[in-house]
Amino acid sequence: MIVVIDGPAGSGKSSTARAVAHELNIQYLDSGALYRAVTYLFLKSEQSLPAFFESLYSAKLSFEFGNEFQVNLNGEDITSAIRDPKVSAQVSTVAAMPKVREYINDLMNNAVQQDVYIADGRDLGTAVFPNADCKFFMIADLETRAKRRHQELSLKGLQMSYSEVFAEIKQRDRLDSTREKDPLKKADDAIVVDSSTFSFDEQVQYIVSRIKETITIE
């Protein structure tokens, strides 16, 4: 069983999905972290496509959700490393590659065959899980999203100016929305949640209530 939350970068979908997972005691699947992990591998391959795809298909990429969504690549915990600004700058480019999307989509579909999951991403409700049990699409204006991301990076000790973060998110919006393969798009049956009009606790409880109205969770 799968619930999905899509939306642009910085809309609050990841933190909200994690909180909903804890509230409902279900599994959390961070698709963005998986694309970041693959982008990390791309950078380790010195951006050589032949070397990258060779290493990708032989890689052991695994993940688990406890207090946080932890990603391991070939036995190495890369949860913190994939949040580096160098990864952020390349993730939309790497995620646009059809072979990469096919690899991650297969990984996610295999993962959700058992248990109840909530996942966040950009094309989950339209391309990856079109038959998801419940779909949400989170939005917020660009300035709000940039402020959130800048604060998040600062708390993690990663130094980027607000203007750099703003420009990066604006560029990611453009790339995500215009890519040929599975662009960022709201599913027709998705519930829109404007995170700039809710407090964090309010949006979590709103989504929890809508999920409970739709599906039964044991």
CATH code of 32's domain: 3.40.50.300
Note the pLDDT of residue 176: 86
184-188 average pLDDT score: 91
Residue 40 has pLDDT above 80, yes or no: yes
Cα 174 to Cα 9, 22, 41, 144, 169: the distances in Å are: 11, 32, 23, 17, 9
Contacts of 122 (CB under 8 A, 6+ apart): 6, 7, 8, 31, 32, 176, 184
Q: Which structural domain range is residue 92 located in? A: 2-214
Residue whose structure tokens are 């032949």:
50
* 3 state DSSP class of 19: helix
Note the pLDDT of residue 135: 97
Note the pLDDT of residue 159: 80
- The number of domains in the chain is 1
Cα 215 to Cα 69, 86, 169, 197: the distances in Å are: 24, 39, 34, 26
Note the pLDDT of residue 134: 95
Token couple for 151:
């604060």
Residue 218 has pLDDT above 80, yes or no: no
Res. 38 pLDDT band, cuts 50 70 90? very high
In 3D space, the residue among 210, 171, 185 whose CA is nearest the CA of residue 3 turns out to be 210
Q: Please, where are the H alpha helices in the chain?
A: 13-24, 31-44, 49-58, 85-95, 98-111, 142-155, 162-178, 200-214
Average pLDDT of the chain, as a whole number: 92
118-141 average pLDDT score: 93
Note the pLDDT of residue 160: 87
How many other CB atoms sit within 10 Å of the CB of residue 119?
A: 27
Residue 120 has pLDDT above 90, yes or no: yes
